Amino acid sequence: MSQEGCLFCRIVRRQLPAEIVAEADGLIAVKDVNPQAPTHLLIIPTEHIASLADLTEAHTTLMGKALQLGNRLARQYHLTPDGYRVVINCGPQAGQSVWHVHVHLLGGRPLQWPPG
């Protein structure tokens, strides 16, 4: 189910422009509009789920597929073998700004740890 005013639901419905790089299994992957690394993609379930904390048992396969899609895109974008990072920000203190769960895939430069 999609939510009317949600930014990522609107991208899923093609009501907002986005560079879509993959679409499969209830997921789309788009280029982040404000990239923090040479490759910065967002893997977004087409179903509206507000945050990581709202996932249920029913989303286990979906989120597993999100990670598999991340791996596939990492290969496609030549992020292996150097490495890459997947991140899900959950809640305001973690910096979540779009309330529709999404996986960041970042790579193409050395990434610092711990993140800020």
Partners of 66 in the beta sheet? none
Asked if 50 contacts 99 with a C-beta cutoff of 8 angstroms, the reply is yes
Q: Which stretch binds ligand DGP (CB under 6 A): 29-37, 54-62, 65-73, 74-82?
A: 29-37
Encoded one letter per residue, x for contact with ligand DGP by CB under 6 A and - for no contact, window 43-82 reads ----------------------------------------
Q: Which stretch binds ligand DGP (CB under 6 A): 20-28, 32-40, 59-67, 106-114?
A: 32-40
96, 103, 105, 106: residue in contact with ligand DGP (rule CB under 6 A) = 96
Instruction: Work out whether 89 is an interface residue with ligand DGP (CB under 6 A).
Output: yes
Which is nearest to 42 in space by CA: 92, 5, 89, 82? 89
Q: Which is nearer to ligand DGP, 56 or 97 (CB)?
A: 97
Please state the separation of Cα 41 from the chain's center in Å: 6
One of 59, 100, 102, 104 is an active-site residue; which one? 102
